[in-house]
Structure 1
Amino acid sequence: MSGGELNPLQFLQGWYRDQCNEDWEHEFGIRMETLDNPGWHVVVDVVDTDLEGKKFERRWSEADESRWIWAAADGESYDLTCDPLSLEKGLEWFREFAEGAAYSPPMQREK
């Protein structure tokens, strides 16, 4: 299966598996937690991966008060926060970031 045939969680799982080299996973990884507003917070370490050094300013989508996603990458991690029902879309943004050779959108608001 190519990356496009995987759902966003399957893509993330495969990306994580591909980084594990008996060294990287001992220092880096993926953290996922819930927020109290409510929502999700996901941090994907990209140090010592092909994504290290790739950055983009905050990207966000706010369809309404209850549907929102914020993401950014600082070259060392990909940071995502979203409402409880937007995790799949937020992980799709990670796939776009990981697969885009020159993914570097300006700060933008998507509807």
Structure 2
Amino acid sequence: MLKWLENFYSSNCDGDWEHGYGITISTIDNPGWSIKVNLQDTPLENKRPFQNYVVERTENDWVHCRLKDGCFEAFGGPENLNEILEFFKRWAESS
């Protein structure tokens, strides 16, 4: 998954995009993860359809993914980082 994310990032680096946009992965105090992928000036900028993904399994096993203001945003429990990245990859590669 990380190799795919590295490839996605590097494929959008054009000497300009990476200076104003990019990918942010951080932790949140729920505990869990927060991911933001800026889609502006990428092939995914106007990609549709997108179905919000909301899964509430347990207090520490949950995922919320959405598009907001030109970004893919996702949040999840402490062991859901890979699930979030897999959801983003599936959507990004869907036709």
Q: TM-score, normalised by structure 2?
A: 0.91
1:40 aligns with 2:27: no
Please tell me the residue identity of whatever aligns with 2:88: F
Aligned to 1:94: 88
Measured after TM superposition, the shift of residue 18 of structure 1 is: 0.4
Distance, in Å, in 2 between the alignment partners of 1:53 and 1:75 is: 11
Aligned to 1:74: 68
1:61 aligns with 2:55: yes
Measured after TM superposition, the shift of residue 97 of structure 1 is: 1.3
Paired positions, count: 94
Cα 1:74–1:53 shift into 2, 3 Å? farther
Gaps of 5+ in 1: 1-7, 102-111
Please tell me the residue identity of whatever aligns with 2:14: N
Q: For 2:66, what is the secondary structure of its paired residue?
A: strand
Measured after TM superposition, the shift of residue 13 of structure 1 is: 1.0
Cα 1:49–1:75 shift into 2, 3 Å? farther
- Is residue 24–residue 36 contact of structure 2 (8 Å, CA) maintained in 1? yes
* Aligned CA-pair RMSD: 1.4
Distance, in Å, in 1 between the alignment partners of 2:29 and 2:56 is: 18
Distance, in Å, in 1 between the alignment partners of 2:76 and 2:61 is: 8
**Which contiguous aligned blocks of 4+ residues in structure 1 show a shift greater than 4 angstroms?**
none
Gaps of 5+ in 2: none
Question: Which residue of 6, 28, 40 maps to 1:13?
Answer: 6
